[in-house]
């Protein structure tokens, strides 16, 4: 029994120990559980705080982005409107300037019927047009410089580029017209006219690109294009006049060169023959052959000069002076022919007068009629001795022809000098 009691105590003790161990273990477990719960709670709290921070950060960032986006769009929108307002203002100024040019279309500055203006009234119109064009060209240049300084948004870059190109052609177009109005006799008139056509087309094409965008409208008014077409017609007249004047100037230059050459050669045959004739008389010689040969040679030379003159192209401004030269050469030809006839008559008369028997002399010489008629000129029959020959009567016709020549020649020389001074 006692043994059983000990066993029971021993069991109770063991049970108590086990209970104590279990209590310790429970306490440790509870402690661990508590610690774990505390850790989890801290983690959750941290995560919750982090999530809240992230959310706040995202909201803040979203708000900042939203504010930035709204502000950016506002700035862009304001910048676009400011640019558009400036761009439209320049376009309006350009259109107004082109309209002012159009007002010149009916001002009388150009004669579209095909005649270049020359009277005082038309010259006044031209002077007014030059003043107006000069002013508008300067203003267009200012507009061009101002548009270059604009900073276009991306969506307006093409429109600005087209405006600048069109405006440059617009500006150059008026400069070409102004140049011709100031200097209508310039040699480059055809080039100026072609440039005007090119600049007009380029200007219109670039302005159309802007107008087709639907936002802006820039153009050359109908009245301005009419003004340009009137100029082109006017330039055609100037060009034709220039060509005609140049052709006349070239023809005049060639004509003067040819006439000068003719006159130089003519000077070598326009000589005094009476001295040679008097030498023959003083020496009691009957040898007139050298003198006659000289007269025949000079007559041939004069005939060649007349043929050369007739083959020249006569400019319209030289018809009068050319007729004078023809008359002068013709008068000298008549003089030479009559003088040669008179020389032959003198030789015949002298030989007849010095001969003891007239029957031994040859028959009278027959010469061509200097007037060109069919009837020949027959030298007079012998009338007496040498002492009875009247030289004044014998040479009366040739002397008269020579006086006619001298009068015509002097008139021609003076008129020809005036003509050269006028056309050169």
What is the tens place of the pLDDT at every residue in 149-160? 999 999 899 999
Confidence of residue 112 (pLDDT cuts 50, 70, 90): very low
Phi-psi region of 364 (alpha: psi -120 to 50; beta: other; left: phi over 0): beta
Q: Which helix (H) or strand (E) holds 378?
A: strand 377-378
Which value, to the nearest 10 degrees, does the dihedral of the CA atoms of residues 289, 294, 296, 301 take? Answer: 170
d(CA 63, CA 36): 40
d(CA 41, CA 418): 128
Contact assessment for residue 131 and residue 178, using Cβ atoms and an 8 Å cutoff: no
Q: Which are the contacts of 40, defined by CB distance < 8 A and separation ≥ 6?
A: none
d(CA 126, CA 104): 10
Phi-psi region of 82 (alpha: psi -120 to 50; beta: other; left: phi over 0): alpha
Q: What phi and psi, each to the nearest 5 degrees, are found at residue 342?
A: -65, -40
Instruction: Give the mean pLDDT of 121-145.
Output: 90
Confidence of residue 366 (pLDDT cuts 50, 70, 90): very low
Q: Which helix (H) or strand (E) holds 366?
A: strand 366-367
The alpha helices in 283-395, defined as continuous H runs, are 289-310, 319-354, 391-394
d(CA 383, CA 352): 8
Q: Looking at residue 130, what is its pLDDT?
A: 92
Instruction: Give the mean pLDDT of 240-252.
Output: 90
Instruction: Give the mean pLDDT of 275-286.
Output: 88
d(CA 89, CA 102): 20
Q: Which are the contacts of 328, defined by CB distance < 8 A and separation ≥ 6?
A: 405, 408, 409, 412
- CA nearest to 193, candidates 233, 221, 159: 233
Please state the pTM of the whole predicted model: 0.62
Which value, to the nearest 10 degrees, does the dihedral of the CA atoms of residues 392, 283, 370, 314 take? Answer: -100
pLDDT surpassing 80 at residue 19: no
d(CA 333, CA 295): 10
The domain spans of the chain are 89-247, 270-423
15 C-beta neighbours (distance < 10 Å), count: 10
| Residue that is written with structure tokens 């000068």 in the block | 260
Q: Looking at residue 32, what is its pLDDT?
A: 61
pLDDT surpassing 80 at residue 171: yes
d(CA 236, CA 241): 8
For residue 109, what is the DSSP state? S
Rounded alpha-carbon distances, angstroms, from residue 24 to 16, 34, 75: 12, 15, 74
Residue 337's Cβ-count burial label (10 Å; 0-12, 13-18, 19+) is: buried
Q: Looking at residue 63, what is its pLDDT?
A: 65
- CA nearest to 275, candidates 256, 290, 261, 260: 290
Lowest mean pLDDT among 75-89, 223-237, 311-325: 75-89
Which of the pair, 409 or 14, is modelled with greater confidence? 409
Q: Looking at residue 126, what is its pLDDT?
A: 82
Contact assessment for residue 150 and residue 83, using Cβ atoms and an 8 Å cutoff: yes
Which of the pair, 295 or 51, is modelled with greater confidence? 295
């Amino acid at each position: 029994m006692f043994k059983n009691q000990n066993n029971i105590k021993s069991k109770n003790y063991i049970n108590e120990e086990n209970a104590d161990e279990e209590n310790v273990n429970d306490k440790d477990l509870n402690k661990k559980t508590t610690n774990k719960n505390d850790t989890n709670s801290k983690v959750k709290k941290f995560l919750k705080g982090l999530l809240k921070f992230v959310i706040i950060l995202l909201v803040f960032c979203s708000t900042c982005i939203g504010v930035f986006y709204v502000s950016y769009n506002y700035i862009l929108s304001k910048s676009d409107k400011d640019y558009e307002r400036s761009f439209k203002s320049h376009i309006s100024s350009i259109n107004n300037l082109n309209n002012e040019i159009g007002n010149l279309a009916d001002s009388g500055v150009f004669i579209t019927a095909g005649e270049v203006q020359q009277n005082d009234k038309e010259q006044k119109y031209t002077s007014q047009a030059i003043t107006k064009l000069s002013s508008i060209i300067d203003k267009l240049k200012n507009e061009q410089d101002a548009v270059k300084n604009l900073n276009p948004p991306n969506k307006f870059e093409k429109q600005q580029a087209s405006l600048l190109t069109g405006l440059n052609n617009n500006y150059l177009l008026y400069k070409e017209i102004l140049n011709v109005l100031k200097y209508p006799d310039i040699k480059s008139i055809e080039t100026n006219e072609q440039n005007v056509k090119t600049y007009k087309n380029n200007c219109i094409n670039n302005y159309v690109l802007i107008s087709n965008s639907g936002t802006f409208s820039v153009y050359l008014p109908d009245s301005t294009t009419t003004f340009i077409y009137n100029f082109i017609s006017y330039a055609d007249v100037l060009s034709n006049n220039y060509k005609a004047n140049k052709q006349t100037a070239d023809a005049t230059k060639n004509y003067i060169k040819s006439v000068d050459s003719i006159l130089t050669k003519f000077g070598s045959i326009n000589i005094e023959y009476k001295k040679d004739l008097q030498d023959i008389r003083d020496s009691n010689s009957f040898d007139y052959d050298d003198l006659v040969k000289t007269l025949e040679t000079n007559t041939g030379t004069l005939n060649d000069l007349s043929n050369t003159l007739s083959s020249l192209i006569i400019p319209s401004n030289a018809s009068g002076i050319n007729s004078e030269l023809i008359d002068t050469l013709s008068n000298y030809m008549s003089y030479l022919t009559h003088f040669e006839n008179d020389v032959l008559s003198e030789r015949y008369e002298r030989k007849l007068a010095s001969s003891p028997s007239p029957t031994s002399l040859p028959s009278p010489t027959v010469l061509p009629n200097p007037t060109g008629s069919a009837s020949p000129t027959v030298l007079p029959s012998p009338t007496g001795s040498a002492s009875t020959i009247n030289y004044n009567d014998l040479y009366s016709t040739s002397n008269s022809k020579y006086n006619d020549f001298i009068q015509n020649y002097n008139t021609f020389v003076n008129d020809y000098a005036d003509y050269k001074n006028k056309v050169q």
